[in-house]
Structure 1
């Protein structure tokens, strides 16, 4: 029997060998000594006895035995060789009492290379065993800038706490997110029961994932599980049966590819299409035949306390004015506890609304889950760069108006200094800052933008910065909060105790909401030629669509007003992009490319400041608790960075 098993294993090995040769690949096992130069190894760490996942055993330590096995670890040596007899002996031992002796292996980048025990590994792989015991030494590479290296260093920190080595991710930050998702803290050791519970959950989920062909999605089972846990709480998932978990995976399946490396550009809708009439059929009969369309807006704070919610409420009121009794709208506001987010969205859905706008990135995960659970309801979340098929998102290219403001500020400053108040260090606001600085340098190459973050703790106030640097031209908050007495907003100039308004960027959310409602009523939700071929829908409109605009003071010098209007006109016809061509970063390096614009993804995910900006991007721990929560949401739920209030 053992000899028959060897022939079957040899046949598998020869097939793998021929396939590798046909594809121009190396047909044998890789040898770690040939892959890794000792000079690239920072240190070696003995890990002791480790349960090694067999699918992560990929080669040998030395080159001595690598040609005896195909790349799938199946044997290649003749069946009458001494090697074959020893392999068959391991088979007999395994079938009689199991392979108990640990192998000796080296771990590098969470892949294992065998020094002693290649035949034991080969036999257990042949019999589809899950793991093998081994004495392991870890070879730690030096830190590098590559994503793979950075993920590996995050894995090593995770391993210290959990001793889990069977989990892999394709994105940075995933191990920390998983730790948080299961209710642990980084640095907190896992108990044996916690390891056992998680292993059971992971095995069930991974089996479902692989059975559905998850490898074709370009993500790992770990990526998929982390996405699943971002929607369904860990304690809830642990109590689900395999059938219930399988049903959940079916629901989220079309959104799982979004957890991989997503091309944000492919999902962007930059402006509304000219034709909003829908098909001939829907123009006559309409798609929406349930009577009055019910539309809900869900905000994270009351409009009188939030300038952000206030601008969206103005958009909602515009809908009521334009559509009259064809629609019915209501506004809902989140209570104090953030745990009420899902409950609030579910209650709104239960009230019979057909279309729901959630206007805060805090609602992103709950909005996505609700979209998955209730496909009959159309939900849009106010964020940018999301790659999900189920949930549409929307935002505006505010950086266009910021560039125009920067032009005005650069021309008006009497001492080359400009103050800039920024809200959160998220990627949307960073693009706004850089666009403003580039605009200022366009009209005044000597201009310096002094940056202040309203969400940063333990720092001087914005007013203190203005007074210390004798700043006369200031870019403050973009919008006013109705209940606040402070009217410092937009771009203004100070002097002699007076404030002169120069310009104000504005959000015309009503323009966006009106178009979406019109498309929905006319049956154009899925048939719009701008969106129906896209893998996901992210509305990212700017000045050309009217969602973003700039109001300029009548007291601006005529030349400055004229120049600003010329550039604004070029933006309106999509001829000018603030991030066209090359520009310098703070550190002196070059950003951008000659004769090209930055891609939407490059703009959205900016994590640097432009030359001419005085200040820095604060770390998470330097922010207020509310700001930290919003910024951390960027990495918790979304593969691409989101923009929050």
Structure 2
């Protein structure tokens, strides 16, 4: 008889027998085990243990122990199961066989075997572990050995906040070895979208950026585009076509494409592949994103300067990494102009209800709406706007993602040899380009409906952010539940900003439950949701 608490066993009866069996190297012994659950808390180990308990109840396996919360849910997704209903015999047999096969061939990198198993499944799936020969499994493990190293690091992501500068000490040989591009031999970039630009404001923005490349580089850069590639087969076909065309760069613009991009990176190791997402710790695919919280800080200050009744509405899209930083920066900027301001938060990704109805029900007429509009959508309810008494919409400002500028800088960085130098200088970490207003990839544009004093305030704040003399998260920070950061505490790290899971004290609203999200919302959260909230 034994008790089990937080993965440790305490023998109540049969101590001598267990001691002898342990001495003889017997890996396990039958026993009646009573599990004692810890009190629920925000402690990471406790939250991880509760997820393990859910997994154990549906799968009955004790061998798989992950080091992070959310991994059991990812494992369930891979097998087409969930953590609420008992898994099918077929899934359990496949899982046991696959884990045993992987464990026998895993050479013991720094990453624990269970975490390594999940990384392997992300790249290669589970079926091969059941059917492949041992030597084939070993070869696949070796192909992604860098991913195991990255996963083992405490700081697994390196945030690159500026393009890698042209090194003055670059050797003549390294310069001569770089590819030389010309109009007859252009740099080739392939863009792979998971939808159509005409139906998605997000993709439309990237498409504008792609088109700008041709104009800016005047024939030195050639781009191709693949749309509607939202399945494994169609995505792989697009990557294969890019590889056959000898593409220098493959651009994927949605976090939902990340896992497909990872598998493509292994299948086509020559390709440079980037994915527009944040906080993914894989070295095979580099990620890129913008510091939109800088623009939202300015938008909040603008909103408070024109708001009526100390109330502003804020419309967010998905509760993913970076979303809370944008909401909080907006709320902080607003509070700096009007200390009594309240920010009413809602989401476009909810299954039920409409954000417009939410604003109308709360009597809010100054609104920070969706950042982008669909090409076919004639609505003016985007960016920062006000609704007049007669119902007319008056646009005030909008944040801008300048993807053309972003892609221009990424391609120039590759042409200058920056990609390789980054690879050599940042070892054992995933690489995330995280650029903002100082590089011109993020901005705020305004209408003519502002006073000259408001323009003056906006420009002062903008210059201060670009020069890094103002940071939205400097000084004391207070959430809805208390003080997050004291005045003299160190500045928040990039990781803390991106992974924020709290809302500022002047925000009225909350993060939606997973069950409240639409199907599209749940899909996005599955790939980029804030892990401390959604696991």
Determine which of 25, 29, 51 is the counterpart of 1:128. 25
The verdict on how the C-alpha distance between 1:314 and 1:281 changes in structure 2, with shifts beyond 3 A counting, is farther
2:172 is aligned to 281
Q: Could you tell me whether the CA contact under 8 Å between 2:351 and 2:519 is conserved in 1?
A: no
Where 1:141 maps in the other structure, the secondary structure is coil
2:392 is aligned to 498
1:374 and 2:253 matched: no
Shift of 1:360: 0.6
2:101 is aligned to 204
2:371 is aligned to 478
Q: Could you tell me whether the CA contact under 8 Å between 1:278 and 1:522 is conserved in 2?
A: no
The verdict on how the C-alpha distance between 1:491 and 1:144 changes in structure 2, with shifts beyond 3 A counting, is closer
Aligned partners of 1:346 and 1:123: how far apart in 2?
58
Structure with higher Rg: it is 1
Aligned partners of 1:593 and 1:263: how far apart in 2?
24
Q: Could you tell me whether the CA contact under 8 Å between 1:298 and 1:359 is conserved in 2?
A: yes
Q: Aligned residue pairs: how many?
A: 529
Q: What pairs up with 1:97-112 in 2 under 5 angstroms?
A: 104-112=1-9
Where 1:133 maps in the other structure, the secondary structure is coil
Aligned partners of 2:76 and 2:340: how far apart in 1?
47
Aligned partners of 1:413 and 1:530: how far apart in 2?
50
Deviations 1:219-266 (A, max 9, x none): 3211111121122222343222221111111111111244456426x6
Determine which of 148, 155, 160 is the counterpart of 1:269. 160
Q: Could you tell me whether the CA contact under 8 Å between 1:386 and 1:640 is conserved in 2?
A: no
Shifted more, 167-176 versus 279-288: the winner is 279-288
Q: What pairs up with 1:7-26 in 2 under 5 angstroms?
A: none
1:594 and 2:487 matched: yes
Deviations 1:136-179 (A, max 9, x none): 23333332332222222222222222221122111112222222
The verdict on how the C-alpha distance between 1:336 and 1:203 changes in structure 2, with shifts beyond 3 A counting, is closer
Shifted more, 466-475 versus 433-442: the winner is 466-475
1:513 is aligned to 407
Moved over 6 A (4+): 638-642
Shift of 1:334: 2.2
Deviations 1:289-332 (A, max 9, x none): 58432210111221122111121112212211222332211111
The verdict on how the C-alpha distance between 1:139 and 1:565 changes in structure 2, with shifts beyond 3 A counting, is same
1:213 is aligned to 108
Q: Could you tell me whether the CA contact under 8 Å between 2:313 and 2:364 is conserved in 1?
A: yes
Where 1:325 maps in the other structure, the secondary structure is coil
Q: Could you tell me whether the CA contact under 8 Å between 1:609 and 1:616 is conserved in 2?
A: yes
1:251 and 2:143 matched: yes
Shift of 1:195: 4.0
1:427 is aligned to 321
1:487 and 2:384 matched: no
The verdict on how the C-alpha distance between 1:146 and 1:561 changes in structure 2, with shifts beyond 3 A counting, is same
Q: Could you tell me whether the CA contact under 8 Å between 2:288 and 2:433 is conserved in 1?
A: yes
Shift of 1:201: 2.1
The verdict on how the C-alpha distance between 1:285 and 1:308 changes in structure 2, with shifts beyond 3 A counting, is same
Q: What pairs up with 1:553-632 in 2 under 5 angstroms?
A: 553-587=447-481, 589-595=482-488, 596-632=490-526
Aligned partners of 1:386 and 1:115: how far apart in 2?
44
Shift of 1:193: 6.1
Shift of 1:528: 5.2
Shift of 1:543: 0.5
Aligned partners of 2:527 and 2:251: how far apart in 1?
19
Q: What pairs up with 1:455-470 in 2 under 5 angstroms?
A: 455-459=349-353, 461-470=354-363
Aligned partners of 1:237 and 1:593: how far apart in 2?
50
Aligned partners of 1:529 and 1:161: how far apart in 2?
42
2:280 is aligned to 386
The verdict on how the C-alpha distance between 1:133 and 1:304 changes in structure 2, with shifts beyond 3 A counting, is same
TM-score, reference length from structure 1: 0.76
2:54 is aligned to 157
Aligned partners of 1:279 and 1:464: how far apart in 2?
59
Aligned partners of 1:606 and 1:250: how far apart in 2?
35
1:451 is aligned to 345
Shifted more, 597-606 versus 175-184: the winner is 175-184
Aligned partners of 1:187 and 1:470: how far apart in 2?
40
Aligned partners of 2:10 and 2:407: how far apart in 1?
58
Aligned partners of 1:641 and 1:366: how far apart in 2?
25
The verdict on how the C-alpha distance between 1:284 and 1:598 changes in structure 2, with shifts beyond 3 A counting, is closer
Shift of 1:276: 7.3
Q: What pairs up with 1:14-413 in 2 under 5 angstroms?
A: 104-190=1-87, 194-209=91-106, 212-214=107-109, 217=110, 219-260=111-152, 262-263=154-155, 267-275=158-166, 279-281=170-172, 285=176, 287-289=178-180, 291-335=185-229, 337=231, 340-413=234-307
Q: Could you tell me whether the CA contact under 8 Å between 1:288 and 1:522 is conserved in 2?
A: no
Q: Could you tell me whether the CA contact under 8 Å between 1:277 and 1:524 is conserved in 2?
A: no
The verdict on how the C-alpha distance between 1:552 and 1:510 changes in structure 2, with shifts beyond 3 A counting, is same
Higher relative contact order (CA 8 A, sep 6+): 2
Shift of 1:456: 0.7
Shift of 1:349: 2.9
The verdict on how the C-alpha distance between 1:305 and 1:121 changes in structure 2, with shifts beyond 3 A counting, is same
The verdict on how the C-alpha distance between 1:295 and 1:392 changes in structure 2, with shifts beyond 3 A counting, is same
Q: Could you tell me whether the CA contact under 8 Å between 1:161 and 1:189 is conserved in 2?
A: yes
Q: Could you tell me whether the CA contact under 8 Å between 2:101 and 2:134 is conserved in 1?
A: yes
Shift of 1:194: 4.8
The verdict on how the C-alpha distance between 1:622 and 1:194 changes in structure 2, with shifts beyond 3 A counting, is closer
The RMSD of aligned alpha carbons is: 2.7
TM-score, reference length from structure 2: 0.91
Deviations 1:416-440 (A, max 9, x none): 1112111112132221111111111
Deviations 1:428-479 (A, max 9, x none): 22211111111111101111112121111222x2332333333222111112
Structure 2: segments with no counterpart, 5+ residues: none
